[in-house]
Amino acid sequence: MIRLLINIVCNGLILIACSKILSTTLQIQSMENLILYSIILYIFNLLIKPIVKLINFPLKILTLGVSSVIIQACIILFCVSFSNIILQNNGIIITNDFISYIKVGIVIGILDYIKNLIV
């Protein structure tokens, strides 16, 4: 239970850091949106990401890891869309082009890697 809370809080801190690093690309409207998005991101990373990684493994070898960045961007796109549907507003705003999702995916991927080394 404590590990779950630590991961959700760390996801929130990662999102805050990402919004500061990419201030023109990622905007978080309120703390409620941040908490909800952190929970959704944790659930997606816990349940869906391992399955996608397993399916993506041959493609990852062929593209020398570039496909994992695209997968991370797709997961972020899915999480943002899902959280905006639940909140029925645009609580998490990412500029509407796929390059922005790739930028956010790279920054979140790097910070998530550092989080996994620490936690």
**CA dist list (Å): 22 to 1, 26, 35, 91, 108:** 31, 6, 19, 16, 11
Looking at the whole model, is its pTM more than 0.75? yes
The structure tokens 């493609």 sit at 59
How does pLDDT run across 47-89, given as a tens digit for each residue?
Answer: 888 898 888 888 888 888 888 888 888 888 888 888 778 777 6
Provide the pairing of β-strand 26-28 with 92-94. Answer: antiparallel
Residue 95 Ramachandran class (φ > 0 left, ψ -120 to 50 alpha, else beta): beta
Task: For 25, list phi and psi in degrees, rounded to 5.
Answer: -100, -45
